[in-house]
């Protein structure tokens, strides 16, 4: 089976067919095609350092004749038009780009295999095992996989007779399946945008690259999108577990709009201006937002509890990213909820920029995490 994303996992090849060219030159562009907006980032390598050239964002609502901030489902030509516009307005010069694939067009899951299975046998086993998780014919998706390394035993564990008598651990394989129709659509989008593509990458892997440093312990990345919230449990730079919660920023805005009987765009403005701190003239705005945030965090805690029971591990840090991470007060609520270190992602910290832009880039960084992560990989 051809692998159309040129291996999601950097050390893996499922196909010897070269579909995408490797990155060349000292410039890289990352394009994050979201459900409510498109973000673009261009970076360059100058004198051995990665620096920011330009960035931009465009809302997709007007292209669907709906309000800014609403979730859209646009055809390829409309998305291509929006890409052309944001590339033009932001002054992007590079014509080759890395492009994100939405997580809703994919499945990410872990398959457990018997310990006696040899690594060379895995490629022939994964398609059969994947059928158990994929609700469509296997011919309608493209697969990629990565054998999760086992955690090395400590000296005490290696010399513990009780542990040595335990049966061998099962092999764990992280599998990604992407709908072929989605890949075809995004190829068409790039073609109509008058760009060439270096590679496609599922958005969560791009977000990981821009948000994580060198964390070795278990980290939870919460990506607040417009239509859904994505949870990634990451250890040693590897996704150990992934979940989605079907609630996002647009749902919060819609709730404010209906509750206060105000237009969606006004509700969006109030959400961004006041957040969980609340509007003195409309005190129930904070309560409306908190209902949704509490639901998201409650579902997240269920995921964490299940992971802890299975692997006997707890998180050491929570990283908030995506547009919802900029909601005023959400970091404080997260800190009280998870009882762990909580930080808001700052993807632009990985690229050089003029000092006077630092505060601006830190404030908007969570929204650009995927675009920055794409560009960083393309520059590697």
Structural domain spans, the chain:
27-250+289-379
- What is the C-alpha to C-alpha distance for residues 362 and 241, in angstroms, rounded to an integer? 28
pTM: 0.87
Rounded to whole angstroms, the Cα distance separating 139 from 364 reads: 40
pLDDT per residue as tens digits for the range 145-158: 888 887 654 445 44
Neighbours of 291 (CB within 10 A): 11
Residue-wise pLDDT for 234-266, tens only, equals: 998 888 899 999 999 999 999 999 999 999 999
The CATH class for the domain spanning 27-250+289-379 reads alpha beta
Residues of the chain with pLDDT under 50: 1-24, 153-155, 157-158, 163
- The helix (H) or strand (E) run that includes residue 172 is strand 171-179
pLDDT of the residue at 47: 85
Q: How far apart are CA 145 and CA 11, in angstroms?
A: 10
Task: Report pLDDT for 22.
Answer: 38
Q: What is the pLDDT of residues 116-172, one digit of tens each?
A: 898 889 999 999 999 999 988 999 999 988 888 876 544 454 455 654 555 567 888
By three-state DSSP, how is residue 2 classified? Answer: coil
3-class state of residue 79 by DSSP: helix
- What is the predicted pLDDT for the residue at 13? 28
């Amino acid at each position: 089976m051809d692998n159309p994303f040129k291996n999601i996992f950097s050390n893996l090849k499922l196909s010897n067919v070269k579909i995408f060219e490797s990155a060349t030159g000292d410039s890289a562009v990352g394009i994050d095609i979201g459900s409510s907006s498109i973000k673009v980032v261009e970076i360059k390598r100058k004198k051995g350092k990665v620096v920011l050239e330009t960035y931009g964002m465009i809302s997709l609502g007007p292209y669907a004749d709906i309000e800014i901030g609403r979730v859209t489902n646009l055809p390829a030509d409309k998305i291509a038009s929006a890409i052309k516009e944001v590339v033009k307005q932001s002054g992007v010069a590079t014509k080759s780009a890395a492009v994100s694939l939405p997580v809703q067009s994919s499945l990410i899951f872990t398959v457990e295999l018997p310990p006696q299975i040899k690594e060379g046998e895995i490629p022939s086993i994964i398609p059969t095992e994947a059928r158990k998780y994929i609700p469509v014919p296997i011919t309608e998706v493209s697969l990629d996989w990565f054998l999760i390394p086992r955690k090395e035993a400590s000296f005490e564990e290696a010399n513990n007779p009780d542990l040595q008598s335990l049966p061998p651990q099962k092999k764990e394989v992280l599998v990604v399946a992407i709908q072929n129709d989605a890949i075809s659509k995004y190829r068409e989008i790039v073609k109509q945008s008058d760009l060439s593509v270096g590679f496609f990458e599922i958005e969560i892997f791009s977000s990981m690259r821009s948000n994580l440093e060198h964390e070795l312990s278990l980290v939870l990345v919460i990506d607040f999108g417009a239509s859904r919230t994505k949870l990634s449990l990451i250890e040693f730079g590897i996704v150990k577990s992934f979940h989605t919660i079907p609630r996002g920023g647009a749902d919060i805005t819609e709730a404010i709009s209906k509750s206060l009987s105000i237009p969606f765009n006004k509700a969006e403005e109030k959400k961004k201006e006041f957040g969980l701190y609340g509007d003195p003239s409309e005190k129930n705005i904070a309560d409306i937002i908190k209902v949704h945030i509490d639901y998201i965090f409650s579902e997240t805690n269920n995921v964490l509890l299940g992971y802890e029971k299975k692997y006997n591990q707890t998180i050491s840090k929570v990283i908030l990213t995506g547009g919802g991470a900029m909601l005023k007060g959400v970091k404080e609520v997260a800190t009280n909820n998870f009882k762990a270190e909580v930080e808001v992602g700052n993807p632009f910290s990985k690229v050089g920029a003029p000092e006077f832009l630092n505060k601006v880039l830190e404030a908007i960084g969570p929204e650009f995490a995927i675009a920055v992560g794409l560009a960083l990989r393309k520059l590697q």
